[in-house]
């Protein structure tokens, strides 16, 4: 039986107004969209998606205080924060920088999984795995070591693009991703010996000491604010001489910021410091754009480090 049959008349009125409002939002009529959403909320005060969308519209209109109030209501209605309201509160300066809600990241990539590769590779010219692969090979050549690895872990593996890039260099790949949808796509590639639905840090914590020769994270750390926990666990899991390679987005300032795309950007100074504090030896830190966004290259860094 369709879900709508269980809705009250007030819920149905709210739903209709919300759908009309979304159409107006897409057409650029933001004031009218905001008015309709407020009408929807009058019918359904706990309509989390409506509160969240109202926050987005108020922010677009430059109405910071009203946007903050709406995002707070969205967060109150969904403490797990599947919509990512707290990220918007961070951007608006109403909340301190903190880690992303797991429910938000999981929902984002579950929805994205079926079209992930098509959109990322074809539309956004995604090249994170390629940048990592070239940096690892160059670092191993410079050290006069083979770029061949027995056991590797792919953090935030997505659909398997990094494993595909390293397929000839790695004997056995383990993939870790928070999104079940992404793991389903990765499984279809047959590139992984194991696949796990969990976050990066928890996935590493289940691995034995010195059990991996390579850990890669292609555009995965952009969903982490503090890199210290994941780098600490990576060092423990890497065997002596093992390699960590990853990409991050970056900026001109210090430390860490949350960008307009709701991804974290880490300064070069922060990355150097975090790698050193984790007890890893930095081999490479160079500029490299992992993708195009809004017709502009996204500023990024490619890092390669070693456990000595």
pTM value?
0.92
Q: Which ranges of the chain have pLDDT less than 50? A: 1-7
Q: Which long-range contacts (CB under 8 A, 24 or more apart) does 94-98 make?
A: 94/68, 97/225, 97/256, 97/257, 97/258, 98/225
> What are the chain's domains?
3-96 (1.25.40.10), 114-306 (3.40.50.150)
C-alpha 224/C-alpha 200 separation (Å) is 10
The pLDDT of residue 268: 98
* Six-digit token string for 183: 């793991």
Residues in CB range of 29: below 8 A, 6 or more apart: none
| Structure confidence at residue 100 (pLDDT) | 96
Q: State the pLDDT at residue 4.
A: 37
- Report the C-alpha gap between 190 and 188 in whole angstroms: 6
190-225 pLDDT, tens digit per residue, is 999 999 999 999 999 999 999 999 999 999 999 999
Residues 6+ apart with CB under 8 A from 65: none
The predicted pLDDT at position 3 comes to: 36
């Amino acid at each position: 039986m369709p879900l709508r049959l269980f809705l009250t008349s007030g819920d149905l009125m709210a739903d209709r107004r919300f759908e009309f409002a979304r159409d107006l939002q897409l057409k650029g009529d933001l004031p009218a969209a905001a008015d309709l959403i407020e009408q929807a909320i009058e019918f359904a005060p706990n309509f989390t998606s409506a509160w969240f969308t109202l926050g987005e519209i108020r922010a677009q209109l430059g109405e910071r205080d009203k946007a903050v109030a709406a995002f707070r209501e969205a967060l109150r209605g969904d403490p797990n924060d599947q919509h990512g309201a707290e990220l918007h509160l961070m951007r608006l300066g109403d909340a301190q920088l903190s880690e992303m809600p797991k429910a938000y990241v999981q929902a984002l990539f579950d929805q994205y999984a079926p079209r992930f590769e098509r959109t990322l590779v074809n539309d956004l010219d995604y090249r994170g795995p390629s940048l990592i692969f070239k940096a690892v090979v160059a670092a191993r050549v410079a050290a006069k070591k083979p770029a061949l690895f027995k056991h590797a872990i792919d953090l935030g593996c997505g659909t398997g693009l990094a494993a595909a890039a390293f397929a000839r260099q790695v004997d056995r790949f383990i993939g870790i991703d928070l999104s079940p949808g992404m793991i389903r796509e990765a499984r279809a590639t047959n590139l992984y010996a194991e696949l796990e639905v969990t976050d990066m840090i928890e996935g590493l914590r289940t691995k034995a000491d010195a059990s991996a020769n390579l850990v890669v994270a292609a555009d995965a750390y952009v969903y982490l604010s503090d890199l210290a926990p994941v780098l600490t666990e990576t060092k423990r899991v890497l065997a002596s001489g093992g390699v960590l390679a990853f990409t991050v987005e970056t900026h001109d300032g210090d430390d860490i910021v949350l960008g307009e795309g709701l991804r974290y950007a880490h300064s070069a100074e922060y990355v150097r410091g975090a790698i050193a504090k984790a007890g890893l030896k930095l081999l490479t830190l160079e500029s490299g754009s992992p993708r195009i966004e809004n017709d502009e290259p996204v500023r990024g860094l490619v890092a390669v480090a070693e456990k000595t």
